[in-house]
Amino acid sequence: MTNWTIGIIGGSGLYQIDALEDAQWIRVNSPFGEASDEILCGRIGNVQLRFLPRHGRGHRIPPSEVNARANVDALKRAGCTDIVAISAVGSLREELEPGRFVVVDQFIDRTKGRPSSFFGTGMVAHVSMAEPVCGRLSGFAAAAVEKAGGKVAKGGTYLAMEGPQFSTRAESHLYRQWGADVIGMTAMPEAKLCREAEMPYALVGMVTDYDCWREDAAFVEVSEVIEQMNANGELARKTVEALVAALPEEREASPLDTVLDYALITAPEERDPAMCAKLDAVAGRVL
């Protein structure tokens, strides 16, 4: 076995990884509440994989109610070293057509009221989000999309909206002016939490539609989105297999593995023991 353990967070259209060997669904308890589902644990070749459907099997959980803290904490407890998230997105650019995959490298967070940190009163921490994804992992992901036969855009800004409603046309035009390339409802606070949990993160956005900024399109049709999601899901599964096959035999340490070394602010004698106990998986290395 290699020393990679890849966590896959599957979004809309990806609820299963059929290529997993020795696969079994395992419930991982988290002090941050219930994760979206059990975690499918197994391997592809010599690489351990942990798969979590973000919305639960059968797509039961809407974006605003996804417990991202429990999901990320559970994946950390399941031994993940790195996280690849796969998400359905709308396109804000003509050249990012439905069916294309976008390996995101920046985010604009417009979500509202979602718990966005593992830390808080009794244990304060500040991590950098200047470069919110792992370049190494994103490179593997982009190459994997191409290997799987898909069209990929390398880099792009993801606008995270609250949902569950789609954008107004005015909002869609505004986000384009801001420089956003794709829009979705789930990458935040997920990316922030993976950074706090010291797990390098990459996001592959599966374009399903053009949102509503184009004047020749009245609005997002859910039926069209579902049809494109189903087509994207098969390519996503092939991408996961190609990514795992391309990983180096040994995982070299990443600077993102140790971001908490200089992030904790609260003096040791002032730290809340109950908070520290909840952080045993996320921050146990430095507590």
Q: Which CATH number goes with the domain that contains 195?
A: 3.40.50.1580
Q: Which of 241, 236, 244 is nearest to 2 (CA)?
A: 244
d(C-alpha 49, C-alpha 40), whole Å: 8
Task: Give me the domain span that covers residue 116.
Answer: 5-278
Q: Is 257 a catalytic residue?
A: no
Q: Which of 84, 89, 43, 52 is nearest to 70 (CA)?
A: 52
What is the pLDDT, as a whole number, of residue 1?
Answer: 65
Q: Which two tokens stand for residue 104?
A: 């995101």
Sign of CA dihedral 23, 26, 30, 32: positive
The reply to whether 235 falls in a domain is yes
The reply to whether 93 falls in a domain is yes
Q: Which residues contact 168 (CB under 8 A, 6 or more apart)?
A: 212
What is the pLDDT confidence band of residue 216, given thresholds at 50, 70 and 90?
confident
- Is the per-residue pLDDT at 222 higher than 90? no
Say what the pTM is: 0.95
Q: Which two tokens stand for residue 151?
A: 């069209």
Instruction: Look at strands 152-154 and 106-110 and give their pairing.
Output: unpaired
The reply to whether 57 falls in a domain is yes
Name the catalytic one among 82, 211, 216, 280. 211
- Is the per-residue pLDDT at 218 higher than 60? no
What is the pLDDT confidence band of residue 160, given thresholds at 50, 70 and 90?
very high
Phi, psi values for residue 83, rounded to 5°: -125, 130
The tens digit of pLDDT for each residue in 224-282 reads: 777 787 778 889 999 999 999 999 999 999 999 999 999 999 999 999 999 999 999 99
The reply to whether 103 falls in a domain is yes
What is the pLDDT, as a whole number, of residue 132?
Answer: 99
- Is the per-residue pLDDT at 20 higher than 60? yes
CA 96 to chain centre: 20
Total structural domains in the chain?
A: 1
CA dihedral 29, 32, 37, 41 (to 10 degrees): -50
The reply to whether 286 falls in a domain is no
DSSP, collapsed to helix, strand or coil, labels residue 199 as coil
Contact by Cβ (8 Å): 189, 66: no
Contact by Cβ (8 Å): 107, 158: yes
Name the catalytic one among 82, 109, 181, 209. 209
Q: Which two tokens stand for residue 227?
A: 């049809």
Q: Is 211 a catalytic residue?
A: yes
- 219 or 188, which is more confident: 188
The tens digit of pLDDT for each residue in 74-94 reads: 999 999 999 999 999 999 999
The reply to whether 136 falls in a domain is yes
Q: What is the mean pLDDT of the chain?
A: 94
Share of the chain above pLDDT 70, in %: 96
What is the pLDDT, as a whole number, of residue 192?
Answer: 99
CA distances from 284 to 126, 180, 237, 269, 281 (A): 16, 36, 33, 16, 5
The reply to whether 53 falls in a domain is yes
CA distances from 155 to 106, 116, 129, 143, 232 (A): 8, 24, 16, 13, 19
